[in-house]
C-alpha cells in the first residue's frame, strides 16, 4: 500500500552466534558488548543453563521461572556483589542496590513521591522543559537539519529530573553529567573478565585502568555539594519541597530513623542517573523507529495535535503514542539485562539452582523471544493497542522489571516520555539521515553504538 502499512520494519541487531561461546570468547565478548554473547538458542529456548567453571549461570526467559525469581521467591534472589562492582562506586547505598530491611526502609520513604496523584502535578513542569528545549533545537523554522538525537534526548530528560525532583539545582549541567556518565560506562561500567570469574577484588582490573574513578569522584563531589547547600537552606527555613528536601527530612513511617548522609547522597545520584539516562535512550530509539515508519509517526502526531498533553487522563486518549513507546521499549529495552544471585538452593524450570548461581534476566532476549512473541523482530505497535495489550504475558514484557524491585519511576518515565514525544511530533518531522541503522550496544543501558542521527524537518 502507498502508506507503507504492508511494509514491516525489522531493525538490525548484533550478529547472533549459533552456539554457546567457549569461556575465552565469552569473556572477551562480555567486555566488548554483552549483547554479542547471546546466541540464536537464547532467543528460541525457555532458558539456557550452564554449569561451568564459574558455577551455574542460567539465562531465563520462561515466564513461570521469571515469576519465581522476581515475585514468588524474590527474597531468595539478590542483586549481589557483581552488580555492585559495576555500579557500586556510585549508588551502592541507594534504593537501586541495597537489599532486605535497608532497601525496604528506603523504598517506603520514597514511595509517596511517586504516586499517580503526585506525578500528575509534574506534567506542567515536564511540558515547560520540553517546550524550552525544543525551541533551542538547531533547526531553523521551515528548514531541516541533521541532528544528533541522543544528546538532545539526554538534555530533555536531565532537565526534567533536575526541575521536578531537585528544583532545577542542576539546570544546565546535562552536558557535564553526560560526559562523566559516558566516561563511567566505558570504564568501570564494563564487564571485566576478572569480575565474571569472581577473582578477588585486590587483583587489579586491567580493563578499568582507564580512570573510571575520576568519573565516580565527579558525581560524588557534585552530590555532596548539593546536599550541603540544601541542608543550609533547610536550617534557614527556605528549602523548596522536592525530592532532595524529602530525602533529608525523611522519617520512616514504620519507626526507622532518618537516612544517613551516605544513603541520601547515593539516592540523589540514583535518581539523577536512573531518572534520566533510561528515558533518554528509550526516546532516542522511539524516534529512530518512527523515522523509519512515517505511517506510525503520523498517528502519533495526530494524537499529539488533538490533546493538551498536561490534561489529567490524556494518556488514555493517546493509544497509538503509548503503543509506539511500549513497542520501542520492547525492541530496545533501556535496561537490557538485570542480574540476580541465588542465596539458597532453589529449582527453576526443573533445574537445580545451588546457592551463588547467577540468573541473567535480559529483557533484550525476553522481548524478542520466539516462544513469547509473534514475529518478534518486527516493529509492530499494534501489539500494544487496547484489546491486544491484554493478551501479553506479564512476564514476557518487563522493561521496568517486575515484583518488589520493579522500577519506582515507571509512571514518571511514561508520563514524561509521552509529553516529550508529543511535543517533538508537533514541532518536527523525523526522517532517516543515512542508510545505515544505529546498532544497539549494551553499556549499562542500551545505547546506539555510534549514536542516532536523524534528519529533522521543521513543521513551522
Ligand atoms: C524508560 C525509563 C526507565 C526504565 C526502562 C527503567 C527500568 C528499570 C528497571 C528494569 C529497574 C529494575 C532493575 C532490577 O530489577 O534489577 C528499575 C529500577 C529502578 N528505577 Fe527505573 N527505569 C526507568 C526510569 C526511571 C525513572 C524516571 C526513575 C526515577 C525518577 C527511575 C528510578 C528507579 C529506581 C530508584 C529503581 C530501583 C527500585 C528498587 O530497587 O526498589 N527509573 N528501573
Q: Which of 399, 393, 326, 389 is nearest to 362 (CA)?
A: 399
Residue 170's contacts (CB-CB under 8 Å, 6 or more residues apart) are: 158, 161, 162, 177, 226, 272
pLDDT at 9 (0 to 100):
97
Distance between Cα 299 and ligand 1 center (Å):
28
Q: Report the atom number in ligand 1 closest to the C-alpha of 412.
A: 27
Tell whether 37 is covered by a domain.
yes
pLDDT band at 460 (very low <50, low <70, confident <90, very high): confident
Give per-residue pLDDT as tens, 264-314.
888 988 898 888 999 999 999 999 999 999 999 999 999 999 999 988 778
Asked whether residue 130 is domain-assigned, the answer is yes
pLDDT exceeds cutoff 50 at 380: yes
**What residues are paired with 346 via a beta bridge?**
353
Q: pLDDT at residue 398 above 70?
A: yes
* Residue 282 to residue 322: CA distance in whole angstroms: 12
Task: Of 201-210, 230-239, 287-296, give the range with the top mean pLDDT.
Answer: 287-296
Q: What are phi and psi of 428, to 5 degrees?
A: -140, 160
Instruction: Detail the DSSP E strand segments found in 37-177.
Output: 47-52, 55-60, 77-78, 144-148
Segments in 307-433 forming alpha helices (H): 319-331, 363-366, 410-427
CA distance 217 to 199: 25
HSE on the CB side for 254, CA within 13 Å?
Answer: 8
- Whether 1 has a pLDDT exceeding 50, the answer reads no
Pairwise pLDDT comparison (252 vs 404), residue with the higher score? 404
pLDDT at res. 174? 76
Question: How many angstroms separate the Cα of 288 from the Cα of each of 10, 293, 331, 380?
Answer: 12, 9, 12, 14
User: What is the structure's pLDDT at 2?
Assistant: 45
- Which CA distances in Å does 9 have to 191, 292, 294, 295? 32, 7, 11, 12
* pLDDT on residue 188: 62
| Range(s) of the domain holding residue 217 | 23-458
Nearest to 274 by CA among 114, 147, 440, 108: 114
Q: Between the CA of residue 439 and those of 152, 193, 274, 349, 447, what are the distances in Å?
A: 19, 24, 22, 33, 8
pLDDT grade for 205, boundaries at 50, 70 and 90: low
The residue ranking higher by pLDDT, 302 or 175, is 302
Secondary structure (3-state) at 341 = strand
**What are 16's three cell numbers?**
547472533
Residue nearest to atom 16 of ligand 1 (CA): 338
Q: Please choose from 66, 80, 259, 407 the residue to mutate so as to test ligand 1's pocket, defined by most ligand atoms within 8 A of CB.
A: 407
How many structural domains compose the chain? 1
Q: What is the mean pLDDT of residues 44-67?
A: 94
Give a yes or no: residue 8 inside a domain.
Answer: no
Does residue 428 surpass a pLDDT of 60? yes
Kindly give the number of the ligand 1 atom that is closest to the alpha carbon of 271.
Answer: 29
* For residues 169-178, average pLDDT: 80
- The average confidence (pLDDT) of the chain is 89
Whether pLDDT at 121 is above 80: yes
- For ligand 1, atom 7: residue with the closest CA: 400
Whole-number Å distance, alpha carbon 103 to ligand 1 midpoint, is 14
Q: Could you give the CA distance from residue 454 to residue 148 in angstroms, rounded to a whole number?
A: 7
13 in any annotated domain: no
Domain contains 76: yes
In a domain, 1, yes or no: no
CATH code of the domain in which 319 resides:
1.10.630.10
Check whether 342 has a pLDDT greater than 50: yes
Confidence of residue 81 (pLDDT cuts 50, 70, 90): confident
What is the DSSP pairing of strand 440-443 with strand 144-148?
A: unpaired
CA atoms of 353 and 357, how far apart (whole Å): 6
In a domain, 247, yes or no: yes
Alpha helices in 250-356 (DSSP H): 261-274, 277-292, 294-306, 319-331
Task: Give the pocket of ligand 1 (CB within 6 Å).
Answer: 79, 95-96, 107, 270-271, 274-275, 278-279, 282, 334-335, 338, 399-401, 405, 407-409, 412-413
**Lowest mean pLDDT segment, chosen from 64-78, 112-126, 412-426:** 112-126
Closest CA to 202 of 193, 214, 211, 194: 194
Residue 280's φ and ψ, nearest 5 degrees, are: -60, -45
- The full length of the chain comes to 460
pLDDT over 80 at 195, yes or no: no
Asked whether residue 116 carries a pLDDT value surpassing 60, the answer given is yes
Question: What's the average model confidence in pLDDT over 111-131?
Answer: 92
User: What separation in Å is there between the alpha carbon of 409 and the centre of ligand 1?
Assistant: 6
**Ligand 1 center–CA 408 separation, angstroms:** 6
CA 358 centroid distance within chain: 21
- Contact assessment for residue 433 and residue 453, using Cβ atoms and an 8 Å cutoff: yes
What the block records as the C-alpha cell of 32 is 566488548
Reduce the DSSP state of residue 437 to 3 states and report it. Answer: coil
User: In this predicted structure, what is the pLDDT of residue 90?
Assistant: 63
Percent of the chain with pLDDT over 70: 91
The pLDDT tens digits of the residues spanning 4-13 come to: 567 899 999 9
Which conformational region is residue 317 in: left (phi greater than 0), alpha (psi within -120 to 50 degrees), or beta?
A: alpha
Residue 390 burial (CB count, 10 A): 6
> Nearest Cα to 373, choosing from 383, 363, 387, 382?
383
Closest approach atom of ligand 1 to CA 70: 15
Cα–Cα nearest to 363, from 395, 394, 336? 336
What is the torsion angle, in degrees rounded to the nearest 10, for the CA atoms of residue 30, residue 36, residue 41 and residue 46? 60
CA of 159 to the centre of ligand 1 (A): 18
Question: Tell me: the pLDDT tens digits for 286-298?
Answer: 999 999 999 999 9
**Torsion angle defined by CA atoms of residues 283, 284, 285 and 289, in that order, rounded to the nearest 10 degrees:** 100
Query: What pLDDT sits at residue 311?
Result: 85
The rounded distance, in Å, linking the Cα atoms of 172 and 207 is 32
Torsion angles phi and psi, residue 61, rounded to 5? -130, -5
- Write down the pLDDT at residue 246: 86
Mean pLDDT, range 327-339, rounded to an integer: 96
Phi-psi region of 356 (alpha: psi -120 to 50; beta: other; left: phi over 0): left
Amino acid at each position: 500500500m502507498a502508506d507503507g502499512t504492508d511494509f514491516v520494519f525489522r531493525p538490525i541487531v548484533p550478529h547472533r552466534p549459533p552456539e554457546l561461546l567457549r569461556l575465552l570468547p565469552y569473556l572477551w565478548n562480555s567486555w566488548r558488548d554483552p549483547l554479542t554473547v547471546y546466541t540464536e538458542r537464547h532467543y528460541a529456548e525457555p532458558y539456557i543453563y550452564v554449569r561451568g567453571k564459574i558455577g551455574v549461570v542460567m539465562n531465563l526467559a520462561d515466564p513461570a521461572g521469571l515469576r519465581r525469581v522476581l515475585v514468588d521467591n524474590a527474597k531468595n534472589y539478590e542483586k549481589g556483589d557483581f552488580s555492585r562492582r559495576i555500579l557500586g562506586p556510585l549508588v551502592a547505598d541507594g534504593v537501586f542496590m541495597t537489599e532486605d530491611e535497608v532497601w525496604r526502609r528506603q523504598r517506603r520513604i520514597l514511595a509517596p513521591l511517586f504516586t499517580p496523584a503526585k506525578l500528575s502535578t509534574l506534567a506542567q513542569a515536564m511540558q515547560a522543559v520540553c517546550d524550552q528545549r525544543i525551541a533551542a533545537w538547531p533547526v531553523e523554522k521551515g528548514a531541516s537539519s541533521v541532528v544528533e538525537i541522543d544528546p538532545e534526548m539526554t538534555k530533555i530528560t536531565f532537565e526534567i529530573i533536575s526541575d521536578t525532583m531537585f528544583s532545577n539545582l542542576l539546570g544546565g549541567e546535562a552536558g557535564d553529567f553526560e560526559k562523566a556518565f559516558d566516561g563511567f560506562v566505558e570504564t568501570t561500567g564494563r564487564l571485566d573478565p576478572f569480575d565474571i570469574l569472581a577473582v578477588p577484588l585486590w587483583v587489579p582490573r586491567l580493563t578499568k585502568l582507564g580512570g573510571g574513578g575520576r568519573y565516580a569522584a565527579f558525581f560524588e563531589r557534585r552530590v555532596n555539594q548539593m546536599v550541603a547547600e540544601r541542608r543550609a537552606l533547610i536550617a534557614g527555613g527556605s528549602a523548596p519541597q522536592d525530592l532532595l528536601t524529602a530525602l533529608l527530612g525523611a522519617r520512616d513511617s514504620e519507626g526507622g530513623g532518618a537516612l544517613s548522609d551516605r544513603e541520601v547522597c547515593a539516592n540523589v545520584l540514583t535518581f539523577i542517573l536512573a531518572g534520566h539516562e533510561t528515558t533518554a535512550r528509550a526516546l532516542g530509539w522511539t524516534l529512530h523507529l518512527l523515522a523509519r515508519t512515517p505511517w506510525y509517526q503520523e498517528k502519533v502526531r495526530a494524537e499529539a495535535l488533538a490533546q493538551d498533553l498536561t490534561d489529567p487522563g490524556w494518556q488514555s486518549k493517546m493509544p497509538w503514542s503509548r503503543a509506539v513507546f511500549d513497542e520501542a521499549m520492547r525492541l530496545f529495552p533501556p535496561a537490557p539485562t538485570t542480574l540476580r544471585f541465588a542465596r539458597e538452593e532453589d529449582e527453576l524450570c526443573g533445574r537445580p539452582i545451588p546457592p551463588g548461581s547467577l540468573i541473567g534476566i535480559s529483557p533484550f532476549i525476553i522481548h524478542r523471544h520466539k516462544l513469547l512473541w509473534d514475529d518478534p523482530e518486527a516493529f509492530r505497535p499494534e501489539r500494544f493497542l487496547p484489546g491486544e495489550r491484554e493478551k501479553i504475558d506479564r512476564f514476557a514484557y518487563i522493561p521496568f522489571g517486575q515484583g518488589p524491585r520493579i522500577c519506582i519511576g515507571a509512571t514518571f518515565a511514561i508520563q514524561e516520555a509521552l509529553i516529550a514525544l508529543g511535543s517533538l511530533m508537533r514541532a518536527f518531522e523525523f526522517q532517516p539521515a543515512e542508510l545505515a541503522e544505529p546498532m544497539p550496544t549494551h553499556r549499562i543501558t542500551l545505547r546506539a553504538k555510534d549514536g542516532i542521527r536523524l534528519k529533522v524537518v521543521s513543521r513551522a
